[in-house]
Amino acid sequence: MKQLVTASAVGLIVAFGAGGAMAAPDWSKAPGKKITVFYPGVSPIEWITKGTEHGGARGLKKGESCAACHEEEAADMGKKMATGQKIEPKPIKGKAGSIPVTVQAAHDGANLYLRFSWKQPAGGADKMDKDNQVKLTVLMDDNKVERANLSGCWESCHGDARTMPDAKDDKKTKYIKDGSLASGKFYDLIQWTSKGAKHDGYVADKRVMEGGKALVDAKGEKKGDEWVVVFTRKLTGGEGDIAMAAGKSYNIGFAIHDDHASGRFHHVSLNYTLGIDAKADITAGKQ
């Protein structure tokens, strides 16, 4: 009897967790947003905002978002860059230009759940990251990072970061100009890797992969040719975690390092919004 009680207690802890109910959402009730992540080539924020090289710079200055101009052509842009037709000095043979991803969200009053699913595209490139076939990173902003509502994650991508052609410091990570935790000007970062690691950090004056308190779990698996990754994140956390609340919306972007890619050789999304019981590109309704 004692063993049965102990087993039951363990089961309850696993099912509910120390921080409250953690039953998996009914994903059939969560609407999916189809988002095309695409290969960006060498297009740091400096290139984006330089009007002589990127025609959309003028629109960006007027408050027009990247998605407003490019969402419908993301796959075409990715193809051009992956094949070296545009802003990619080192094209990778066999690199997919884009990946259509279905994104869903839900919450239970204490935790936010994010679900990403996509079919594995063809690959075959050299394995930069031999340990991970896939990595999925999500960046979120509490409307504090300048232009994040227009450019998504691009405010963290700079021409002097490591793996960029103009990099002079192989240790320089993604960062935000004038970013700091004290000012609230940072991206909240969560990451899952196919090796089984999960990271909870932030991007401010530099990228920090650990230290966050909001990420509860990150799980992914490949079923046939489809990847499914689910993040469970507390609505509130600690340092480097943005606090989320019902009725509010946040900026969100994500990147997939596919086919053992590393560094800048990922697929990225444009700018989108995540609402907690609020109208947004991706809405997390309460279940």
Determine the structural domain holding residue 138 and report its residue range.
Answer: 29-286
pLDDT in tens, 40-76: 999 999 999 998 889 899 999 999 999 999 999 999 9
Does residue 9 lie within any of the structural domains?
no
CA dihedral in degrees (80, 83, 89, 90; nearest 10)? 150
Does residue 17 lie within any of the structural domains?
no
Do 234 and 214 contact (CB within 8 A), yes or no? yes
Question: How are beta strands 272-276 and 282-286 bridged, if at all?
Answer: parallel
Does residue 50 lie within any of the structural domains?
yes
Does residue 230 lie within any of the structural domains?
yes
Does residue 69 lie within any of the structural domains?
yes
pTM higher than the cut 0.75: yes
User: How many separate domains does the chain show?
Assistant: 1
Does residue 174 lie within any of the structural domains?
yes
Tens place of pLDDT per residue across the chain (287 aa): 444 444 434 443 434 444 445 678 999 999 999 999 999 999 999 999 998 889 899 999 999 999 999 999 999 999 999 999 999 999 998 899 999 999 999 999 999 999 999 999 998 778 999 999 999 999 999 999 999 999 999 999 999 999 999 999 999 999 999 999 999 999 999 999 999 999 999 999 999 999 999 999 999 999 999 999 999 999 999 999 999 999 999 999 999 999 999 999 999 999 999 999 999 999 999 99
CATH of residue 75's domain is 2.60.40.1190
Tokens of 14: 């696993």
Does residue 24 lie within any of the structural domains?
no
149: exposed, middle or buried (Cβ count in 10 Å: 0-12, 13-18, 19+): middle
Does residue 71 lie within any of the structural domains?
yes
